[in-house]
Structure 1
Amino acid sequence: MDHGTLEREIHIDATPDVVFDVVSNPEHVREWWPDEAEYPVEPGGEGHIAFDGHPVRFTVVDAIPPKLFSFRWTHAEGETAAPGNSFLVVFELEPAGTGTRLRMTETGFRERGWDEAKIAAEYADHESGWDHFLPRIPAVTAKVGATS
């Protein structure tokens, strides 16, 4: 396994507009992913997310409703998010029947300058994390869609 790109795809019974809101808006992101999320939903928007009180840097790369939301995360305090110091996560949304196909990719494992053991460990950690968190998105979209 090359541990270069992590990819997942799920179908969600909600419109791309609702899915975009759920994967980009910090208020909704907190419902399915981190405990805390604070950042502006605009290219270059900087902030943080936190898991169990441990903050992680977060920078929005692109926000193109309702098609694409991408961000870099895990870069060190005082550094600008870039290849080599952070992971890049891209959510691509496409209408699919009465719902949305959400494709998530995460890259940046090989670019960090780590040895093979560290790359494999980080990749496995992120893989299990996304496998846990992504399936939580449909329930949040159902709730958000019912109130919009």
Structure 2
Amino acid sequence: MEYGRIERSMYVDATPEVVYEVISSPTHLKEWWPDDAAYEPSPGSVGTLTWQNDTGHDAVSITVVDAEPHSLFSFRWTHPADEAAAVGNSLFVTFELAPSGDGTSVRMTETGFREMGWEIAVLEQQYNEHVQGWDYHLARLGDYVTRLVARR
């Protein structure tokens, strides 16, 4: 296995406007992915994503790369808080949105694992953890959008 790229595609029964809001807004993001999120959904914004755990919390850095309303949202994450996000110190996530019938086709990719310079065992562990994480959280994204649209 190459451990270089995670790619997932899904259909969400909501407009690209709604889906974009859910994947780019910290308020919505924390409903399906991290426990807390602090950043501005605009290119160059730097912030944090935080998950609660048994010993307190884990916070990771996020830097927004692209924010094209209703079509593209991308960011680098997991870089050291005191360093600018770049190839080799962060992973790159892209959400591409396209209208599809009455809903939205979503393609999520995460890359940069091999560029991190990890030993093969760490690379394999990190890659597999992210595969499991995205499978879990993207299902939550779909569920959250369904609940959100039902409330509107």
Q: Which interval holds the TM-score relative to the shorter structure?
A: over 0.9
Shift of 1:118: 1.1
Q: Which amino acid in 1 is paired with 2:51? A: F
Q: 1:35 maps to which residue?
A: 35
Identity of aligned residues (%): 49
| Residues 84-121 of structure 1 deviation map (CA, whole Å, 9 limit, x = unaligned) | 00000000001111110110000010001111111111
54, 59, 62: which is aligned to 1:58? Answer: 62
Corresponding residue SS for 2:115: helix
Shift of 1:77: 1.7
Shift of 1:142: 2.4
- Structure 2 distance, partners of 1:94, 1:29, is 19
| Residues 47-100 of structure 1 deviation map (CA, whole Å, 9 limit, x = unaligned) | 000111211101100000100000010000210000100000000001111110
Shift of 1:141: 1.5
1:18-33 equivalent positions in 2, closer than 5 A: 18-33=18-33
Question: How many residues end up aligned between the 2 structures?
Answer: 148
- Structure 1 distance, partners of 2:150, 2:16, is 14
- Structure 2 distance, partners of 1:127, 1:139, is 19
Q: Which amino acid in 1 is paired with 2:43? A: P
Q: 2:138 maps to which residue?
A: 134
Corresponding residue SS for 1:31: coil
1:102 aligned onto 2:106: yes
Shift of 1:145: 2.9
- Structure 1 distance, partners of 2:41, 2:81, is 20
RMSD: 1.0
Q: 1:89 maps to which residue?
A: 93
- Structure 2 distance, partners of 1:132, 1:143, is 17
Q: Which amino acid in 1 is paired with 2:36? A: E
Show structure 1 runs of 5+ residues with no match.
none
Q: 1:118 maps to which residue?
A: 122
Show structure 2 runs of 5+ residues with no match.
none
Q: Which amino acid in 1 is paired with 2:89? A: N
Shift of 1:144: 3.0
- Structure 1 distance, partners of 2:81, 2:142, is 33
Corresponding residue SS for 1:34: coil
